[in-house]
Amino acid sequence: MIELGLNRIARLLEDTPILWRAIHVAGTNGKGSVCAYASAMLHASNIRCGRFTSPHLIDRWDCITINENTVRTTLFHEVEAMVQAKDRREGIKASRFEILTATAFTLFNHEDMEVGVIEVGLGGRYDATNIFKKPSVTVITKIGEDHQSFLGDTQEKIAYQKAGIMKPHVPCIFDGSNSPSVAKVLQGNAEECQASAILRVPHDLPAETSSELRTILADSRYEPHQVMNIQLAYEAVKRVAGDMRRSINLRHSAEAIKRTSWPGRLQMLNLERLMARKNDVLLDGAHNPQSSEVLGSYVDSRLRVGKSTITWIIGISDGKDAKQILRNLLRSGDKLVAVEFGSVEAMPWVRSMDVDNIVEASHSLVVLGETQKAYGDVAKALRMAASTAKEGPIVIAGSLYLVSDVLRLQRGAVP
């Protein structure tokens, strides 16, 4: 099981001073994207940066980047072995995520990073990444319902856990589209911990920021949630660069953001070798009501051309509210292939929802055109969807673990 707390990570890192400035990002949705945008802007401005996000999608080291490149496999294993040796030697009994966090932080020292962009793993207050005494800036993205058994059963309780990354005399930037009750929790926590500033985006942005952001956001293809995440990242980067007496190159940053892709989030993917289909599919790890609402809106506006129906490949983690997720996605006449993702490395408590439960939840919401069950065979699910959809749009969604399975299949199919 997951055991939150800071004692074990503190022991792992007791001889490893953090030599780089940190942008620490928490939230329910969007935090990985904020991290990707922030590191892209830093790199574009010639600031050496590392990024640590979670979960990994294919290999456990693919969540660590050095100057926008995945850490070298041999270097990762070398540093990880040092951390594991300390864990064994001192009987710390650290979790896999704590080992991974300590490995990432040590790698950033080893590679002489100037800034580390760090995504919280779970919650914030007691997450292993929350070991910083004084990060340069903290960021809170959109708060929603997820991991309620660990973080609380209301958005306000969840916000309290996320707000635990705030630190005395450190500015915090948060997503102003959060509900008033969530904003009240975040602002109250900022006052209580004596954060140096609390900035609600975009409400509290200075006037000159508008023209700067117009330069970065000149490309109109961004969805509203992407605009918000870019704004959060830019404000964080601007503050850490200011602390370093460095400047952000707006033109280069705009180009870097255009090139930034975040696997499993509104990702168009060609799976011809797996599906015998030339048209791309849309891959998105939407796994809670808020992220499925964003995905559903995107699909409705971009993929439902005319009377086009969608063929969905859906896999959901057991314990999730399937109806809350699916009601944002499915429309009458859509087609469904329900599937179960595979076992998750070092996380035996994570299991896929039974396909029968997914189908039952779907049928309780809308009248579907066709329903199929692929059980635990993701490759079969892809073939089923291709056969059913013909040339129509296909969307794969419901879980980042399903995203991982699809990306692993794709990698194995590449010659």
> How would you label 137-154 residue by residue, b for 16+ Cβ within 10 Å and e otherwise?
bbbbbbbbbbeeeebbee
DSSP code of residue 353: P
* pLDDT given for residue 348 in this prediction: 84
pTM: 0.95
Distance of CA 250 to the CA centre of its chain: 24
Q: What is the pLDDT of residue 220?
A: 64
Measured distance CA(332)–CA(310) in Å, rounded: 10
Q: Is the dihedral of CA 289, 295, 299, 302 positive or negative?
A: positive
- DSSP for 323-336, written as a single string: HHHHTTT--TT-EE
Q: Closest Cα partner for 127 from 147, 112, 107, 154? A: 147
* Dist. CA 107–CA 171, nearest whole Å: 26
Which pair of tokens denotes residue 327? Answer: 């009601």
284-327 confidence digits (pLDDT tens): 999 999 999 999 999 999 999 887 899 999 999 999 999 999 99
CB atoms within 10 A of CB 374: 20
Phi then psi for residue 247, to 5 deg, are: -115, 155
Give me the residue label for tokens 């997914």. 358
Cα atoms found within 13 Å of the Cα of residue 219, Cβ hemisphere only:
16
**Residues with Cβ within 8 Å of residue 343, at least 6 apart in sequence:** none
pLDDT digits (tens, 9 = 90+) for 71-110: 999 999 999 999 999 999 999 999 999 999 999 999 999 9
Spatial distance between the Cα atoms of 269 and 193, rounded to a whole number of angstroms: 44
| pLDDT value for 354 | 98
Please spell the DSSP secondary structure of 96-129, one letter per residue.
Answer: HHHHHHHHHHHHHHHTT-SEEEEE-SSSSTT-TT
Q: Phi/psi of residue 235, each to 5°? A: -65, -40
Instruction: State which H helix or E strand residue 198 sits in.
Output: strand 198-201
Chain centroid to Cα 260, Å, comes to: 14
**Predicted local distance difference test score (pLDDT) of residue 1:** 56
Q: Which amino acid, one-letter code, is at 257?
A: I
CA distance 79 to 95: 16
**Length of the chain measured in residues:** 415
* pLDDT score, position 415: 55
Each residue's pLDDT tens digit in the chain (415 positions)?
567 889 999 999 999 999 999 999 999 999 999 999 999 999 999 999 999 999 999 999 999 999 999 999 999 999 999 999 999 999 999 999 999 999 999 999 999 999 999 999 999 999 999 999 999 999 999 999 887 878 999 999 999 999 999 999 999 999 999 999 999 999 999 999 999 999 999 988 877 777 787 778 876 688 899 999 999 999 999 999 999 999 999 989 999 999 998 899 999 999 999 999 999 999 999 999 999 999 999 999 999 988 789 999 999 999 999 999 999 999 999 999 999 999 998 788 899 999 999 999 999 999 999 999 999 999 999 999 999 999 999 999 999 999 999 999 999 976 5
